[in-house]
Amino acid sequence: MSRLEGSQQSFWKTEAGPVHYAKLSKDLEVDTAVIGGGISGALTAYLLAKAGRSVAIVEARDFSAGSTGGTTAKLSSQHQLIYHEMLQRDGLDVARKFYDANEEGRKLIESISKEHNIDCDFTEEDAYVFTQDGSHTESLKAEAQAYDEIGIDGGMTNSIPIDFDVSSALVMRKQAQFQPVKFIHGLLKAIEELGGKIIQHTRYMDKEEHDDYLVLTTNTPYKITCKQVVLATLFPVEDPHSFYSNTMEPMSSHLTAFESDQPFGTGVYIGQDEPRRTFRGAYDGDQPILIVGGNTHRTGNKSSTIDHYEAIRQFTKAEFGLTKMLAYWSEHDMVTPDRRPFIGPIEEGNDKMFVMTGYNKWGLAVAGTAAQLICDLIEGKENSYAEFLSPQRDLPKKEEKEDQPSILEQAKQLSKGEAKRFEINEEASGMYRDHTGDIHYVNLTCTHLGCEVKWNDGDETWDCPCHGSIFDGTGKVIAGPAKDPLKQIDVS
Ligand SMILES: Cc1cc2nc3c(=O)[nH]c(=O)nc-3n(C[C@H](O)[C@H](O)[C@H](O)COP(=O)(O)OP(=O)(O)OC[C@H]3O[C@@H](n4cnc5c(N)ncnc54)[C@H](O)[C@@H]3O)c2cc1C
Ligand code: FES
Protein backbone atom coordinates (compact mmCIF):
# COMPACT_ATOMS: atom_id res chain seq x y z
CA MET A 1 0.00 0.00 0.00
CA SER A 2 1.38 3.47 -0.82
CA ARG A 3 2.36 5.60 2.15
CA LEU A 4 0.66 8.93 2.70
CA GLU A 5 2.15 12.23 1.62
CA GLY A 6 3.07 14.71 4.36
CA SER A 7 4.71 14.43 7.72
CA GLN A 8 3.55 11.78 10.16
CA GLN A 9 3.59 14.21 13.07
CA SER A 10 1.13 16.66 14.58
CA PHE A 11 1.16 20.02 12.82
CA TRP A 12 1.28 21.77 16.23
CA LYS A 13 4.48 19.97 17.23
CA THR A 14 6.21 20.69 13.93
CA GLU A 15 5.16 24.32 13.92
CA ALA A 16 6.20 24.97 17.53
CA GLY A 17 9.49 23.05 17.22
CA PRO A 18 11.16 21.19 20.06
CA VAL A 19 11.77 22.44 23.58
CA HIS A 20 14.98 21.48 25.37
CA TYR A 21 14.98 20.38 28.99
CA ALA A 22 17.32 17.92 30.66
CA LYS A 23 16.68 14.44 32.02
CA LEU A 24 16.64 13.82 35.76
CA SER A 25 20.36 13.86 36.59
CA LYS A 26 20.38 13.76 40.41
CA ASP A 27 18.07 12.85 43.26
CA LEU A 28 15.46 15.52 43.84
CA GLU A 29 13.25 16.55 46.74
CA VAL A 30 10.13 18.64 46.10
CA ASP A 31 6.75 19.21 47.73
CA THR A 32 4.87 17.91 44.69
CA ALA A 33 5.92 15.94 41.64
CA VAL A 34 3.64 16.28 38.64
CA ILE A 35 4.01 13.40 36.19
CA GLY A 36 3.03 14.16 32.59
CA GLY A 37 3.82 17.15 30.43
CA GLY A 38 0.50 17.74 28.69
CA ILE A 39 -2.01 20.45 29.50
CA SER A 40 -3.14 18.81 32.78
CA GLY A 41 0.36 18.45 34.18
CA ALA A 42 1.67 21.81 32.95
CA LEU A 43 -1.29 23.80 34.32
CA THR A 44 -1.13 21.96 37.65
CA ALA A 45 2.62 22.47 38.04
CA TYR A 46 2.14 26.15 37.17
CA LEU A 47 -0.63 26.73 39.72
CA LEU A 48 1.25 24.85 42.44
CA ALA A 49 4.44 26.83 41.76
CA LYS A 50 2.41 30.03 41.79
CA ALA A 51 0.94 29.03 45.15
CA GLY A 52 4.52 28.89 46.49
CA ARG A 53 5.07 25.13 46.53
CA SER A 54 8.24 23.52 45.28
CA VAL A 55 7.27 21.47 42.26
CA ALA A 56 8.82 19.31 39.55
CA ILE A 57 7.09 18.41 36.28
CA VAL A 58 8.36 15.15 34.82
CA GLU A 59 7.69 14.10 31.23
CA ALA A 60 8.66 10.71 29.79
CA ARG A 61 9.00 11.91 26.20
CA ASP A 62 8.97 15.51 24.89
CA PHE A 63 6.57 17.98 26.46
CA SER A 64 3.19 17.89 24.61
CA ALA A 65 4.11 14.48 23.18
CA GLY A 66 0.71 13.09 24.23
CA SER A 67 -2.84 14.06 23.37
CA THR A 68 -2.24 17.75 24.08
CA GLY A 69 0.18 17.94 21.17
CA GLY A 70 -2.23 16.09 18.89
CA THR A 71 -5.59 17.75 19.46
CA THR A 72 -7.79 19.90 17.26
CA ALA A 73 -7.07 22.51 19.94
CA LYS A 74 -10.52 23.98 20.42
CA LEU A 75 -10.95 25.51 23.86
CA SER A 76 -14.63 24.89 24.06
CA SER A 77 -17.45 24.14 26.47
CA GLN A 78 -19.36 22.75 23.48
CA HIS A 79 -18.47 19.07 23.62
CA GLN A 80 -20.35 18.04 20.50
CA LEU A 81 -23.77 17.27 22.03
CA ILE A 82 -23.69 16.73 25.80
CA TYR A 83 -25.97 19.11 27.71
CA HIS A 84 -29.29 17.52 26.74
CA GLU A 85 -27.91 14.11 27.77
CA MET A 86 -26.64 15.49 31.10
CA LEU A 87 -29.91 17.30 31.80
CA GLN A 88 -31.90 14.12 31.18
CA ARG A 89 -29.61 11.82 33.15
CA ASP A 90 -28.13 14.02 35.88
CA GLY A 91 -30.37 17.12 36.12
CA LEU A 92 -29.93 20.85 35.72
CA ASP A 93 -27.38 21.42 38.52
CA VAL A 94 -24.95 18.89 37.06
CA ALA A 95 -25.33 20.13 33.47
CA ARG A 96 -24.84 23.74 34.56
CA LYS A 97 -21.85 22.87 36.73
CA PHE A 98 -20.23 20.99 33.86
CA TYR A 99 -20.64 24.05 31.64
CA ASP A 100 -19.24 26.31 34.38
CA ALA A 101 -16.23 24.00 34.87
CA ASN A 102 -15.37 24.32 31.18
CA GLU A 103 -16.00 28.06 31.00
CA GLU A 104 -13.84 28.75 34.07
CA GLY A 105 -11.06 26.53 32.72
CA ARG A 106 -11.03 28.29 29.35
CA LYS A 107 -10.98 31.72 31.00
CA LEU A 108 -8.11 30.65 33.26
CA ILE A 109 -6.07 29.53 30.23
CA GLU A 110 -6.79 32.83 28.49
CA SER A 111 -5.77 34.83 31.55
CA ILE A 112 -2.54 32.82 32.03
CA SER A 113 -1.60 33.31 28.38
CA LYS A 114 -2.19 37.06 28.72
CA GLU A 115 -0.36 37.36 32.06
CA HIS A 116 2.75 35.64 30.69
CA ASN A 117 2.47 36.98 27.13
CA ILE A 118 2.37 33.43 25.78
CA ASP A 119 2.29 33.64 22.01
CA CYS A 120 -0.07 30.70 21.41
CA ASP A 121 -2.37 32.05 18.66
CA PHE A 122 -5.27 32.27 21.11
CA THR A 123 -8.39 33.60 19.37
CA GLU A 124 -12.00 33.83 20.47
CA GLU A 125 -14.24 31.76 18.16
CA ASP A 126 -17.84 30.64 18.03
CA ALA A 127 -18.16 26.85 18.16
CA TYR A 128 -20.58 24.99 15.87
CA VAL A 129 -22.06 21.49 15.73
CA PHE A 130 -23.64 20.91 12.32
CA THR A 131 -25.60 18.37 10.33
CA GLN A 132 -25.22 18.36 6.55
CA ASP A 133 -27.87 15.81 5.71
CA GLY A 134 -30.38 17.11 8.25
CA SER A 135 -30.69 13.77 10.01
CA HIS A 136 -29.53 15.24 13.32
CA THR A 137 -31.52 18.46 13.33
CA GLU A 138 -33.80 17.18 16.11
CA SER A 139 -30.81 16.28 18.32
CA LEU A 140 -29.33 19.72 17.71
CA LYS A 141 -32.66 21.31 18.66
CA ALA A 142 -32.82 19.28 21.88
CA GLU A 143 -29.30 20.48 22.71
CA ALA A 144 -30.35 24.09 21.93
CA GLN A 145 -33.24 23.68 24.37
CA ALA A 146 -30.72 22.49 26.99
CA TYR A 147 -28.60 25.61 26.26
CA ASP A 148 -31.69 27.73 27.06
CA GLU A 149 -32.34 25.92 30.34
CA ILE A 150 -28.71 26.16 31.44
CA GLY A 151 -28.30 29.75 30.25
CA ILE A 152 -25.67 29.04 27.61
CA ASP A 153 -25.05 31.80 25.06
CA GLY A 154 -25.99 30.12 21.76
CA GLY A 155 -28.70 28.28 19.86
CA MET A 156 -29.83 27.01 16.45
CA THR A 157 -28.73 28.74 13.27
CA ASN A 158 -29.24 27.99 9.56
CA SER A 159 -26.07 29.65 8.41
CA ILE A 160 -22.44 29.49 9.40
CA PRO A 161 -19.72 32.05 8.63
CA ILE A 162 -17.70 29.87 6.21
CA ASP A 163 -18.34 28.52 2.73
CA PHE A 164 -19.58 25.08 3.80
CA ASP A 165 -23.11 23.75 3.29
CA VAL A 166 -25.03 22.70 6.36
CA SER A 167 -28.66 21.79 6.81
CA SER A 168 -28.69 23.20 10.33
CA ALA A 169 -26.20 24.05 13.04
CA LEU A 170 -25.99 24.80 16.73
CA VAL A 171 -23.71 27.60 17.85
CA MET A 172 -22.08 28.26 21.21
CA ARG A 173 -20.76 31.80 21.32
CA LYS A 174 -17.42 33.09 22.58
CA GLN A 175 -15.39 29.90 22.72
CA ALA A 176 -11.74 29.81 21.63
CA GLN A 177 -8.90 28.05 19.85
CA PHE A 178 -5.12 28.11 20.35
CA GLN A 179 -1.83 26.46 19.46
CA PRO A 180 -1.50 23.93 22.30
CA VAL A 181 2.22 23.18 21.99
CA LYS A 182 3.15 26.87 21.98
CA PHE A 183 0.94 27.32 25.04
CA ILE A 184 2.71 24.49 26.89
CA HIS A 185 6.11 25.90 25.98
CA GLY A 186 5.10 29.31 27.39
CA LEU A 187 3.73 27.68 30.52
CA LEU A 188 6.99 25.79 31.08
CA LYS A 189 8.90 29.08 31.01
CA ALA A 190 6.48 30.51 33.57
CA ILE A 191 6.89 27.42 35.80
CA GLU A 192 10.67 27.80 35.60
CA GLU A 193 10.45 31.50 36.48
CA LEU A 194 8.39 30.51 39.52
CA GLY A 195 11.17 28.15 40.63
CA GLY A 196 9.67 24.88 39.32
CA LYS A 197 11.90 22.09 38.02
CA ILE A 198 11.29 20.95 34.46
CA ILE A 199 12.39 17.40 33.64
CA GLN A 200 12.07 15.78 30.23
CA HIS A 201 12.78 12.28 28.87
CA THR A 202 12.35 10.79 32.33
CA ARG A 203 9.68 8.16 32.89
CA TYR A 204 8.01 7.63 36.28
CA MET A 205 8.32 3.92 37.04
CA ASP A 206 7.21 3.19 40.58
CA LYS A 207 6.75 4.53 44.10
CA GLU A 208 7.83 3.61 47.61
CA GLU A 209 5.26 4.80 50.15
CA HIS A 210 6.34 6.13 53.54
CA ASP A 211 4.21 7.64 56.30
CA ASP A 212 4.27 11.20 55.10
CA TYR A 213 6.24 11.11 51.87
CA LEU A 214 6.77 9.13 48.66
CA VAL A 215 9.92 8.15 46.82
CA LEU A 216 9.39 7.93 43.07
CA THR A 217 11.66 5.79 40.94
CA THR A 218 12.27 6.66 37.30
CA ASN A 219 13.96 5.11 34.29
CA THR A 220 17.10 6.99 35.35
CA PRO A 221 19.28 6.02 38.33
CA TYR A 222 17.75 8.95 40.26
CA LYS A 223 14.72 9.28 42.53
CA ILE A 224 12.28 12.01 43.46
CA THR A 225 11.16 12.40 47.08
CA CYS A 226 7.88 14.28 47.43
CA LYS A 227 4.86 14.77 49.68
CA GLN A 228 2.39 14.32 46.84
CA VAL A 229 2.44 13.08 43.28
CA VAL A 230 -0.04 14.08 40.56
CA LEU A 231 -0.48 11.55 37.75
CA ALA A 232 -1.37 13.68 34.73
CA THR A 233 -0.46 10.87 32.33
CA LEU A 234 -3.72 10.64 30.30
CA PHE A 235 -4.31 7.14 31.70
CA PRO A 236 -3.08 6.95 35.33
CA VAL A 237 0.15 4.98 35.49
CA GLU A 238 -0.96 3.59 38.85
CA ASP A 239 -4.36 1.91 38.94
CA PRO A 240 -5.35 0.54 42.36
CA HIS A 241 -7.87 -2.32 42.09
CA SER A 242 -7.95 -1.71 38.28
CA PHE A 243 -10.65 0.93 38.84
CA TYR A 244 -9.50 3.11 35.94
CA SER A 245 -8.97 0.14 33.62
CA ASN A 246 -12.43 -1.15 34.33
CA THR A 247 -14.15 2.21 34.11
CA MET A 248 -12.66 4.12 31.17
CA GLU A 249 -12.40 3.37 27.47
CA PRO A 250 -9.70 4.75 25.16
CA MET A 251 -10.94 6.35 21.94
CA SER A 252 -8.70 7.33 19.02
CA SER A 253 -9.21 10.05 16.43
CA HIS A 254 -7.23 11.04 13.36
CA LEU A 255 -6.21 14.50 12.24
CA THR A 256 -4.65 16.07 9.18
CA ALA A 257 -3.29 19.51 8.24
CA PHE A 258 -3.82 20.89 4.73
CA GLU A 259 -2.19 23.87 3.07
CA SER A 260 -4.75 26.40 1.85
CA ASP A 261 -4.44 29.40 -0.48
CA GLN A 262 -6.79 31.49 1.63
CA PRO A 263 -7.56 31.93 5.34
CA PHE A 264 -10.20 29.56 6.62
CA GLY A 265 -12.39 32.19 8.27
CA THR A 266 -13.86 32.16 11.74
CA GLY A 267 -15.41 29.48 13.95
CA VAL A 268 -14.54 25.95 15.02
CA TYR A 269 -16.70 23.11 13.68
CA ILE A 270 -17.73 19.54 14.37
CA GLY A 271 -20.29 17.44 12.49
CA GLN A 272 -22.92 15.22 14.03
CA ASP A 273 -23.36 13.10 10.86
CA GLU A 274 -21.36 9.87 10.53
CA PRO A 275 -18.47 9.76 9.93
CA ARG A 276 -17.99 12.71 12.23
CA ARG A 277 -15.78 15.52 10.99
CA THR A 278 -14.03 18.22 12.98
CA PHE A 279 -12.18 21.20 11.53
CA ARG A 280 -10.76 24.66 12.19
CA GLY A 281 -8.27 27.05 10.66
CA ALA A 282 -4.68 27.76 11.71
CA TYR A 283 -1.55 29.41 10.34
CA ASP A 284 2.01 28.33 9.76
CA GLY A 285 3.59 31.79 9.70
CA ASP A 286 1.53 33.54 6.99
CA GLN A 287 0.49 30.27 5.38
CA PRO A 288 -3.20 29.45 6.02
CA ILE A 289 -3.76 25.89 7.20
CA LEU A 290 -6.89 23.82 7.63
CA ILE A 291 -6.92 21.19 10.38
CA VAL A 292 -9.43 18.43 9.56
CA GLY A 293 -10.09 15.21 11.42
CA GLY A 294 -12.53 12.67 12.74
CA ASN A 295 -13.10 8.94 12.21
CA THR A 296 -13.14 8.34 15.97
CA HIS A 297 -13.07 4.71 17.08
CA ARG A 298 -12.08 2.58 20.04
CA THR A 299 -8.27 2.53 20.27
CA GLY A 300 -6.75 -0.58 18.70
CA ASN A 301 -9.99 -1.80 17.05
CA LYS A 302 -7.97 -3.07 14.07
CA SER A 303 -9.45 -0.58 11.60
CA SER A 304 -6.90 0.66 9.09
CA THR A 305 -5.48 4.03 10.10
CA ILE A 306 -4.48 4.70 6.50
CA ASP A 307 -8.13 4.28 5.48
CA HIS A 308 -9.13 6.85 8.13
CA TYR A 309 -6.64 9.39 6.78
CA GLU A 310 -7.75 8.69 3.20
CA ALA A 311 -11.40 9.25 4.15
CA ILE A 312 -10.49 12.59 5.75
CA ARG A 313 -8.44 13.53 2.69
CA GLN A 314 -11.37 12.83 0.36
CA PHE A 315 -13.74 14.86 2.55
CA THR A 316 -11.31 17.80 2.57
CA LYS A 317 -10.92 17.72 -1.21
CA ALA A 318 -14.67 17.48 -1.79
CA GLU A 319 -15.69 20.16 0.72
CA PHE A 320 -12.78 22.61 0.65
CA GLY A 321 -10.97 21.80 -2.60
CA LEU A 322 -7.69 21.28 -0.72
CA THR A 323 -5.29 18.57 -1.81
CA LYS A 324 -1.90 19.35 -0.26
CA MET A 325 -1.75 17.34 2.95
CA LEU A 326 1.13 18.58 5.08
CA ALA A 327 0.72 16.30 8.08
CA TYR A 328 -1.34 13.51 9.55
CA TRP A 329 -1.42 12.07 13.04
CA SER A 330 -3.55 10.14 15.51
CA GLU A 331 -4.18 10.55 19.22
CA HIS A 332 -6.43 9.10 21.87
CA ASP A 333 -8.26 10.10 25.02
CA MET A 334 -10.11 8.32 27.83
CA VAL A 335 -13.89 8.20 28.04
CA THR A 336 -15.76 7.95 31.37
CA PRO A 337 -19.29 6.59 31.85
CA ASP A 338 -20.84 10.00 32.74
CA ARG A 339 -18.62 12.08 30.43
CA ARG A 340 -17.10 14.00 33.35
CA PRO A 341 -13.34 13.72 33.96
CA PHE A 342 -11.80 11.99 36.99
CA ILE A 343 -9.89 14.63 38.94
CA GLY A 344 -8.86 14.01 42.53
CA PRO A 345 -7.40 11.40 44.89
CA ILE A 346 -6.47 8.20 43.10
CA GLU A 347 -8.59 6.32 45.62
CA GLU A 348 -10.74 7.15 48.66
CA GLY A 349 -8.69 8.66 51.48
CA ASN A 350 -5.39 8.85 49.54
CA ASP A 351 -3.91 12.30 50.20
CA LYS A 352 -0.57 11.68 48.48
CA MET A 353 -1.48 10.51 45.00
CA PHE A 354 -3.85 12.38 42.65
CA VAL A 355 -5.08 11.68 39.13
CA MET A 356 -6.21 13.80 36.19
CA THR A 357 -7.83 11.66 33.52
CA GLY A 358 -11.01 10.80 31.63
CA TYR A 359 -11.46 13.96 29.57
CA ASN A 360 -13.74 12.36 27.00
CA LYS A 361 -11.88 13.94 24.06
CA TRP A 362 -12.56 17.45 25.40
CA GLY A 363 -9.93 18.07 28.07
CA LEU A 364 -8.36 21.34 27.06
CA ALA A 365 -10.70 23.93 28.59
CA VAL A 366 -11.70 21.92 31.66
CA ALA A 367 -8.01 21.18 32.38
CA GLY A 368 -7.76 24.69 33.87
CA THR A 369 -10.49 23.91 36.39
CA ALA A 370 -9.04 20.45 36.98
CA ALA A 371 -5.59 21.90 37.71
CA GLN A 372 -7.07 24.42 40.15
CA LEU A 373 -8.95 21.60 41.88
CA ILE A 374 -5.78 19.49 42.31
CA CYS A 375 -3.92 22.54 43.59
CA ASP A 376 -6.68 23.23 46.15
CA LEU A 377 -6.84 19.59 47.27
CA ILE A 378 -3.08 19.63 47.86
CA GLU A 379 -3.28 22.97 49.64
CA GLY A 380 -6.20 21.74 51.78
CA LYS A 381 -8.55 24.39 50.40
CA GLU A 382 -12.27 24.08 49.65
CA ASN A 383 -13.14 23.65 45.97
CA SER A 384 -16.70 23.43 44.69
CA TYR A 385 -15.69 20.85 42.03
CA ALA A 386 -14.13 18.37 44.48
CA GLU A 387 -17.10 16.00 44.60
CA PHE A 388 -18.33 16.79 41.12
CA LEU A 389 -15.12 15.59 39.48
CA SER A 390 -14.08 13.08 42.14
CA PRO A 391 -13.09 9.65 40.75
CA GLN A 392 -14.98 8.24 43.75
CA ARG A 393 -18.40 9.70 42.73
CA ASP A 394 -21.33 7.44 41.87
CA LEU A 395 -21.24 6.44 38.20
CA PRO A 396 -23.88 5.18 35.78
CA LYS A 397 -23.58 1.47 35.09
CA LYS A 398 -21.04 0.80 32.38
CA GLU A 399 -21.86 -1.21 29.30
CA GLU A 400 -19.97 -4.48 28.88
CA LYS A 401 -16.71 -4.07 27.01
CA GLU A 402 -16.74 -5.55 23.52
CA ASP A 403 -14.53 -8.58 23.07
CA GLN A 404 -11.69 -7.71 20.76
CA PRO A 405 -11.97 -9.99 17.73
CA SER A 406 -8.78 -11.90 17.10
CA ILE A 407 -7.77 -13.05 13.62
CA LEU A 408 -4.98 -15.59 13.30
CA GLU A 409 -2.65 -14.97 10.42
CA GLN A 410 0.59 -16.56 9.36
CA ALA A 411 3.53 -14.27 8.82
CA LYS A 412 4.25 -13.34 5.20
CA GLN A 413 7.00 -11.35 3.63
CA LEU A 414 6.71 -7.77 4.79
CA SER A 415 7.47 -4.51 3.03
CA LYS A 416 9.35 -1.83 4.95
CA GLY A 417 7.04 -0.21 7.51
CA GLU A 418 4.61 -3.14 7.55
CA ALA A 419 3.74 -5.47 10.39
CA LYS A 420 1.80 -8.67 10.87
CA ARG A 421 0.28 -10.59 13.76
CA PHE A 422 1.03 -14.25 14.14
CA GLU A 423 1.01 -16.86 16.89
CA ILE A 424 3.91 -18.77 18.33
CA ASN A 425 3.33 -21.34 21.11
CA GLU A 426 -0.25 -19.96 21.24
CA GLU A 427 1.13 -16.53 22.18
CA ALA A 428 0.02 -13.49 20.17
CA SER A 429 3.13 -12.18 18.46
CA GLY A 430 3.99 -9.51 15.93
CA MET A 431 6.62 -8.98 13.29
CA TYR A 432 7.60 -5.59 11.92
CA ARG A 433 10.04 -4.66 9.17
CA ASP A 434 11.65 -1.30 9.94
CA HIS A 435 12.78 1.18 7.30
CA THR A 436 16.29 -0.23 7.20
CA GLY A 437 14.82 -3.64 6.37
CA ASP A 438 15.39 -5.29 9.75
CA ILE A 439 12.59 -7.39 11.19
CA HIS A 440 11.63 -7.12 14.86
CA TYR A 441 9.62 -9.83 16.58
CA VAL A 442 7.66 -8.90 19.70
CA ASN A 443 5.20 -10.50 22.04
CA LEU A 444 1.92 -8.59 21.62
CA THR A 445 1.01 -8.72 25.30
CA CYS A 446 0.89 -5.15 26.59
CA THR A 447 3.35 -4.74 29.45
CA HIS A 448 0.81 -2.68 31.40
CA LEU A 449 -1.95 -5.14 32.28
CA GLY A 450 -1.66 -7.73 29.56
CA CYS A 451 -4.11 -6.80 26.79
CA GLU A 452 -3.09 -7.63 23.25
CA VAL A 453 -1.73 -4.64 21.34
CA LYS A 454 -2.88 -4.04 17.75
CA TRP A 455 -1.01 -2.73 14.72
CA ASN A 456 -1.67 0.89 13.71
CA ASP A 457 -0.60 0.99 10.06
CA GLY A 458 -0.77 4.79 9.72
CA ASP A 459 1.59 5.53 12.60
CA GLU A 460 3.54 2.24 12.52
CA THR A 461 2.87 1.61 16.18
CA TRP A 462 1.48 -1.18 18.33
CA ASP A 463 -1.52 0.36 20.18
CA CYS A 464 -3.12 -1.10 23.27
CA PRO A 465 -6.94 -1.15 23.14
CA CYS A 466 -7.28 -1.33 26.91
CA HIS A 467 -5.73 1.84 28.29
CA GLY A 468 -4.02 3.37 25.32
CA SER A 469 -0.32 2.47 25.66
CA ILE A 470 1.56 2.92 22.39
CA PHE A 471 4.75 1.06 21.39
CA ASP A 472 6.87 1.64 18.31
CA GLY A 473 7.26 -1.12 15.73
CA THR A 474 10.26 -2.51 17.60
CA GLY A 475 8.35 -2.59 20.89
CA LYS A 476 9.74 0.52 22.64
CA VAL A 477 7.26 2.48 24.80
CA ILE A 478 6.07 5.67 23.10
CA ALA A 479 3.14 6.39 25.43
CA GLY A 480 2.15 4.93 28.82
CA PRO A 481 0.63 3.75 31.09
CA ALA A 482 2.97 0.88 30.11
CA LYS A 483 6.48 1.51 31.35
CA ASP A 484 8.36 -1.45 29.88
CA PRO A 485 8.87 -2.31 26.19
CA LEU A 486 7.08 -5.22 24.52
CA LYS A 487 9.00 -8.47 25.08
CA GLN A 488 11.28 -9.38 22.17
CA ILE A 489 10.84 -12.93 20.94
CA ASP A 490 13.26 -15.29 19.30
CA VAL A 491 11.59 -17.04 16.38
CA SER A 492 14.61 -19.00 15.33
C1 LIG B 1 -7.59 13.69 17.99
C2 LIG B 1 -8.00 14.42 19.22
C3 LIG B 1 -8.51 15.71 19.12
C4 LIG B 1 -8.86 16.39 20.28
N5 LIG B 1 -9.35 17.66 20.16
C6 LIG B 1 -9.69 18.35 21.28
C7 LIG B 1 -10.19 19.67 21.19
O8 LIG B 1 -10.29 20.26 20.10
N9 LIG B 1 -10.53 20.29 22.34
C10 LIG B 1 -10.40 19.68 23.57
O11 LIG B 1 -10.75 20.29 24.58
N12 LIG B 1 -9.90 18.44 23.68
C13 LIG B 1 -9.54 17.77 22.57
N14 LIG B 1 -9.05 16.51 22.69
C15 LIG B 1 -8.80 15.94 24.02
C16 LIG B 1 -7.55 16.57 24.64
O17 LIG B 1 -6.52 16.58 23.69
C18 LIG B 1 -7.13 15.78 25.88
O19 LIG B 1 -8.24 15.66 26.74
C20 LIG B 1 -6.01 16.49 26.63
O21 LIG B 1 -4.99 16.88 25.74
C22 LIG B 1 -5.47 15.60 27.73
O23 LIG B 1 -4.34 16.24 28.26
P24 LIG B 1 -3.46 15.54 29.38
O25 LIG B 1 -2.44 16.53 29.79
O26 LIG B 1 -4.36 15.01 30.44
O27 LIG B 1 -2.80 14.27 28.66
P28 LIG B 1 -1.58 14.23 27.60
O29 LIG B 1 -1.51 15.46 26.78
O30 LIG B 1 -1.68 12.94 26.88
O31 LIG B 1 -0.32 14.24 28.53
C32 LIG B 1 0.09 13.11 29.28
C33 LIG B 1 1.60 13.08 29.27
O34 LIG B 1 2.04 12.13 30.24
C35 LIG B 1 3.24 11.56 29.76
N36 LIG B 1 3.46 10.29 30.48
C37 LIG B 1 2.75 9.13 30.38
N38 LIG B 1 3.28 8.19 31.21
C39 LIG B 1 4.33 8.79 31.84
C40 LIG B 1 5.28 8.34 32.82
N41 LIG B 1 5.25 7.09 33.32
N42 LIG B 1 6.23 9.21 33.24
C43 LIG B 1 6.28 10.48 32.76
N44 LIG B 1 5.41 10.96 31.84
C45 LIG B 1 4.46 10.12 31.39
C46 LIG B 1 2.97 11.37 28.27
O47 LIG B 1 4.16 11.22 27.53
C48 LIG B 1 2.19 12.65 27.93
O49 LIG B 1 3.03 13.66 27.43
C50 LIG B 1 -8.71 15.79 21.55
C51 LIG B 1 -8.22 14.49 21.66
C52 LIG B 1 -7.87 13.80 20.50
C53 LIG B 1 -7.37 12.41 20.66
S1 FES C 1 -2.36 -0.07 28.34
FE2 FES C 1 -3.21 -1.26 29.96
S3 FES C 1 -3.06 -3.31 29.25
FE4 FES C 1 -2.17 -2.11 27.69
Using an 8 Å Cβ cutoff, are 291 and 280 in contact? yes
Q: Would you say how long the chain is, in residues?
A: 492
pLDDT, tens digit only, all 492 positions of the chain: 346 788 889 999 999 999 999 999 999 999 999 999 999 999 999 999 999 999 999 999 999 999 999 999 999 999 999 999 999 999 999 999 999 999 999 999 999 999 999 999 999 999 999 999 888 999 999 999 999 999 999 999 988 999 999 999 999 999 999 999 999 999 999 999 999 999 999 999 999 999 999 999 999 999 999 999 999 999 999 999 999 999 999 988 899 999 999 999 999 999 998 888 999 999 999 999 999 998 777 776 666 778 888 889 999 999 999 999 999 998 889 999 999 999 999 999 999 999 999 999 999 999 999 999 999 999 999 999 999 999 999 998 755 444 443 334 556 677 888 888 887 777 788 999 999 888 899 999 999 887 889 898 888 999 988 888 999 999 999 988 899 999 998 776
User: For the stretch 268-305, what's the b/e string if a residue is b when 16 or more beta carbons lie within 10 angstroms of its beta carbon?
Assistant: bbbbbeeeebbbbbbeeeeebbbbbbbbbbbbbebeeb
Q: What pLDDT score was predicted for residue 427?
A: 77
Using an 8 Å Cβ cutoff, are 152 and 172 in contact? yes
From 404, 448, 483, 484, the mutation candidate for ligand 2 (largest count of ligand atoms within 8 A of CB) is: 448
Decide whether any atom of ligand 1 lies within 6 Å of the 248 Cβ.
no
From 449, 454, 462, 470, the mutation candidate for ligand 2 (largest count of ligand atoms within 8 A of CB) is: 449
From 38, 188, 194, 186, select the one nearest 121 (Cα to Cα).
186
DSSP 452: B
Q: How far apart are CA 208 and CA 205, in angstroms?
A: 11
**465 C-alpha to ligand 2 centroid (Å):** 7
Chosen CATH of 11-70+181-244+338-379 out of 2.60.120.260, 3.50.50.60, 3.40.50.150, 3.40.50.880: 3.50.50.60
Q: What pLDDT score was predicted for residue 404?
A: 41
Q: What pLDDT score was predicted for residue 480?
A: 82
Residues lining ligand 2, Cβ inside 6 A: 446, 448-451, 464, 466-469, 481-482
Q: What pLDDT score was predicted for residue 3?
A: 62
Helix or strand or coil: residue 137? helix
Residue nearest to atom 31 of ligand 1 (CA): 38
**235 C-alpha to ligand 2 centroid (Å):** 9
**37 C-alpha to ligand 1 centroid (Å):** 9
β-strand partners of 230: 34, 354
Residue nearest to atom 3 of ligand 2 (CA): 449
Using an 8 Å Cβ cutoff, are 239 and 482 in contact? no
Atom of ligand 2 nearest to the CA of 480: 1
Q: Where in the chain are the domains?
A: 11-70+181-244+338-379, 404-492
Give domain 404-492's CATH architecture: 3-layer Sandwich (2.102)
Q: What pLDDT score was predicted for residue 303?
A: 66
Q: What pLDDT score was predicted for residue 361?
A: 95
